[in-house]
Amino acid sequence: MTTWTDHATDRPITLAASSGIDRSAHHRLDEAWLAAAWSHPTTRVFVVSGGQALVDDAPDGRTELVMTPSFEAPPTETHRYFLGTDEEGVRYFALQKDSLPGRMDQSARPAGLREAGALLSERDAGLLVHAVALENWQRLHRFCSRCGERTMIAAAGHIRRCPACGAEHYPRTDPAVIMLVRDEQDRALLGRQVHWPEGRFSTLAGFVEPGESIEQAVVREVAEEAGVTVGEVEYVASQPWPFPSSLMLGFMAQATSSLIQVDGEEIHEARWFSRDDLRAAIESGEVLPPSGISIAARLIELWYGEPLPRG
């Protein structure tokens, strides 16, 4: 496997850019330090619930997470997650609640990563993706997979411990490959999943299976979903995708065949697009491109050579 080095449209991938936050994992088991950090006047806190947090659309066009000092935060005994420290020493925590608090002011509104991820600063997007990933994991892994006992939160939200058998459980991340496949004519292979709306096309993707390398996963998924064989595979970049717990590993892949035979189970339709084909299809509304927040859009843009048109 080689690494893609064409940076003609190089810009940070949403949710994957450096947030400027040091996760400070060495403090997660230090209860005295965490207590002091929580009570510090500069500490900032936000609530996450169902993958959403409150955001504020400022008059100057910026969208920011609504954060408060810890002494103004809603009470919680266990679901308090330490997210890290910024360069100025400000500590950040997320609180998991069953619902978001009432709107802090007239401009605050609830939003998730799909809606606000591309609008938030790199710091706020990084904090929110961390909090959403922890919330999803906490909600789905309340019981010990070894003995079935209810587990307890530890390490500031990053471990669940079983009081019965002593097992420790850590946040789960499922590796998935996502790839822009090109043929010998430099056309891009895009597909439409069976449950997507008419016209929605994107890159192919799939999960890495046990005992499989990521390169093998790229080759297998393209063959299974579209019937196309792949030769060279080039790694591009990754993106955390907490919906609920994936890490998307992005690739450029070179096809060695062009005949398409979709599986009909995951992929309903797949087509080869030249750049002119894709531009015309998007502008006419025939094709709906993937969301700008997704690494899929960035992979297509790397091949396309510029930001995608929006019909």
256-292 pLDDT, tens digit per residue, is: 999 999 999 999 999 999 999 999 999 999 999 998 8
Residue 152 has pLDDT above 60, yes or no: yes
Tokens 């940070």 correspond to: 12
Global confidence as pTM? 0.92
Looking at the chain, the whole-number percentage of residues with pLDDT higher than 70 is 95
Q: How confident is the model at residue 17 (pLDDT cuts 50, 70, 90)?
A: confident
The domain spans of the chain are 21-169, 174-304
- Asked if the domains at 21-169 and 174-304 fall in one CATH topology, the answer is yes
Residues 108-143 pLDDT 10s: 899 999 999 999 999 999 999 999 999 999 999 999
pLDDT of residue 237: 94
CB atoms within 10 A of CB 40: 14
Q: Which is more confident, 101 or 205? A: 205
- Average of per-residue pLDDT across 208-229: 97
Point out which residues pair with 248 in neighbouring strands. Answer: 176, 239
Average pLDDT value for the chain: 93
- Spatial contact of 160 and 154, defined as CB atoms under 8 Å apart: yes
Point out which residues pair with 175 in neighbouring strands. Answer: 247
Write down the CATH number for the domain with range 21-169: 3.90.79.20
* CA–CA gap between residue 301 and residue 304 (Å, rounded): 5
- Average of per-residue pLDDT across 69-90: 92
Q: How confident is the model at residue 104 (pLDDT cuts 50, 70, 90)?
A: low
Q: Poorest-confidence range of 59-63, 137-141, 236-240?
A: 59-63
pLDDT of residue 9: 45
Q: Which is more confident, 174 or 78? A: 174
Tokens 């403090």 correspond to: 27
* CA–CA gap between residue 29 and residue 15 (Å, rounded): 27
- Please report, as a single letter, which amino acid is at residue 191: G
Q: Which is more confident, 27 or 57? A: 27
* CA–CA gap between residue 250 and residue 177 (Å, rounded): 6
Q: Which is more confident, 100 or 1? A: 100
Point out which residues pair with 197 in neighbouring strands. Answer: none
Nearest to 253 by CA among 304, 174, 178, 175: 178
Q: Poorest-confidence range of 87-96, 102-111, 234-243?
A: 102-111
Three-class DSSP category at 28: coil
Which of the four CATH numbers 1.10.8.80, 3.40.630.10, 3.90.79.10, 2.40.50.140 does domain 174-304 have?
A: 3.90.79.10
- Spatial contact of 285 and 199, defined as CB atoms under 8 Å apart: yes
Q: How confident is the model at residue 8 (pLDDT cuts 50, 70, 90)?
A: very low
Tokens 């997507």 correspond to: 196
